[in-house]
Structure 1
């Protein structure tokens, strides 16, 4: 007995000398919440889930029983988002991003025409269903939304208008969080990743570094002012950036503790953040034939825009608002040529295009007046 007590005391002393605490170690252990369930009564309020049951075609059969066995309900993960508190907002003061580590991105459930998306709330029935679509930019380091300066060098806004602007550009739960330890600077430049130049050919539309191997570590060359800082960062973040937003209203009561959210038939394959609570992957029947079933499939265009804009930035196609092609003549120039229709361009991008055209026109007028 004395030997046992002595061994325990020695172990505690050893932990103390190495800077570890038994109580801190135990207290620091957090058990991850499950993300899949077999019974609808195990699901939490304020969450969205995908029902998927091989061999079963009617969700009501699983809702009407206190079932056990294999899981059939899969939680839509929130991910690490840079818009906490504004999940349902349509104001884009900062770029909106979702970051999910590569070791858990396989938990993003897939919605098809053969399963169901459900939502649970013990307080309210939603008057509208918000679908915020996010573009898939694949695996990268935990840095998004980079911009190019006039010379084509890429940077993130570090502390330009606020001292913590960087939180909208860096996944603070990733290894990239270490680049936020600098003194206050306006911009943080990224010049190279693993020897590869960061330029327009290697940066995605979402301002992430492309062409990186999943889970591989790279030496990243950052610049604070003209001083370089090297960081070793792993490309283990599945990055998503806001693409478009839709407001829908169709759902179905199921005589249970959840509602079934109807997926519009005009949805394209992509990633959707529903009701501000979780992300799911939607695959159309056509793409389902080739989908590899994995967390990332480069063979499918996940970012094909649904909304369309004309050359003036006016939305000419938004099925959620019943704006269709046949309405073009009523809301735009009757002489608008099909070549002037811009697929998926934002009003801001269209304003920039329009501005450049005005500048060119002004230059032409100046030349004409000079020649006279």
Structure 2
């Protein structure tokens, strides 16, 4: 039988062993008590590590927290599929208030072009993400790649007969597209609420009760901070932008922190809207993290191709995004492939079209919009004109003979085009520029064999000069 001294030594060994087990592999701290694993650790400036970001509150420093998720690295491109998720570890997200700073220690003396990615709090859900609504009315998930480990749904579904899961009902109600968030998570569930889920695992129908025990954060907005400030304290400081909204942020792909756009203890944090948008329109949001090009369409036009040529050295095609925004806000995606991203639209409305290109530092070689109305059995006539200085009320014209179809455009050096109007009575195509910048303009006429193109040129539009032009609105 062991004596008291031996028992005390044995008990001490057990306690030390427990502390080591709780520390986990690769963590920064060893926690004596299990509950301490989900408490933020305050550090001093002597404990800072290089190339990490810390919320500085008074003399304390809290390292930003990187939860599990699909937002695996710094990005210049906002994407609804970029997610973080938390469970008990939600408490490890540190809080920053207005007029406090992020601290960054490094061997480098400067930090510039800082990317600030904001995340939307999309609430709690069962631990499935990236789902899509199928044509036959189910929400499809692949359990090998679209499930959060160690949550309620994981415990039930991971050992199901098939890795292909099709959600059919929630609380006996058939699933609908309205239940699915843009991240592919089920929305509208209560925190830690329990739900009866009907699903197919392969061809086998099953039911199970799952808990909405996973807190999801979704990439929301991208902005830039020009540079960090220097101090004599051995670290750089990065203040939040003056007009930043309250919300969840990640700096340069480091980790999450919670930001309140007011000083500590001046407002009730429980009533703050953490998802208030910073950008008023989708176009403004896209413009913040992309390079932009404008194409002006003067009149409603059919069969137009938008093309963007880019350098293929730095980025793969799947890293490039090209978004076309119409004057009424409709968006289209140009498909990048081997140095060219393009889309053809059957009809484009008049106004300013915007092409947004990501990443922001991608080398763009050319942007243009051109008519694709020509068919295999049609012919083209092309003539270029050099305009030596800016001018006003300049009309481009082309004369033709015959009764067949004829159409055409005038294009400037930037690829912006203007459609020619067809006067079938006078057998003439014309378009007028109220203001014409100096440069080279190319007229392209499309026609069939039963039509012959005559003189092509430009002149002052005297009819337009004789009348005062009044523009109402923009």
Flag whether TM exceeds 0.5 (same fold).
yes
- TM-score between both structures, scaled by the size of structure 1: 0.63
Number of aligned positions between the proteins: 301
Question: Alpha carbons of 1:306 and 1:214: their partners in 2 closer, same or farther (altered >3 Å)?
Answer: same
Question: Alpha carbons of 1:37 and 1:316: their partners in 2 closer, same or farther (altered >3 Å)?
Answer: closer
> How far did residue 276 of structure 1 move?
1.5
Give SS of 1:134's match: strand
Q: Would you say the 8 A contact 1:139–1:237 is kept in 2? A: yes
**1:178-237 deviation per Cα after TM superposition (whole angstroms, max 9, x unaligned):** 32334664x422233344543233322322222322123333333223322334332222
Q: Distance in 2 between matches of 1:303 and 1:207?
A: 21
> How far did residue 321 of structure 1 move?
6.6
Question: Alpha carbons of 1:43 and 1:6: their partners in 2 closer, same or farther (altered >3 Å)?
Answer: closer
Question: Alpha carbons of 1:262 and 1:7: their partners in 2 closer, same or farther (altered >3 Å)?
Answer: closer
User: Any unmatched runs of 5+ in structure 2?
Assistant: 24-30, 32-36, 300-324, 337-341, 350-474
2:101 maps to what in 1?
116
> How far did residue 279 of structure 1 move?
0.7
Q: Would you say the 8 A contact 2:40–2:92 is kept in 1? A: yes
Q: Would you say the 8 A contact 1:243–1:305 is kept in 2? A: no
> How far did residue 135 of structure 1 move?
2.1
The residue correspondences of 1:241-252 to structure 2 (distance < 5 A) are 241-252=218-229
Q: Distance in 2 between matches of 1:3 and 1:188?
A: 59
2:246 to 265, 269, 291: 269
Structure number with the higher helix fraction is 1
Q: Distance in 1 between matches of 2:162 and 2:108?
A: 43
Q: Would you say the 8 A contact 2:80–2:218 is kept in 1? A: no
> How far did residue 172 of structure 1 move?
1.9
> How far did residue 27 of structure 1 move?
5.3
2:458 maps to what in 1?
none
Q: Would you say the 8 A contact 1:266–1:319 is kept in 2? A: no
Q: Would you say the 8 A contact 1:147–1:207 is kept in 2? A: yes
2:257 maps to what in 1?
280
RCO comparison, higher one (Cα < 8 Å, 6+): 1
**Match status 1:146 vs 2:156:** no
2:279 maps to what in 1?
306
1:35 maps to what in 2?
40
2:68 to 67, 80, 84: 80
Give SS of 1:201's match: helix
> How far did residue 252 of structure 1 move?
0.4
Q: Distance in 2 between matches of 1:316 and 1:95?
A: 16
**1:76-98 deviation per Cα after TM superposition (whole angstroms, max 9, x unaligned):** 210112344xx124579993210
Give SS of 1:245's match: strand
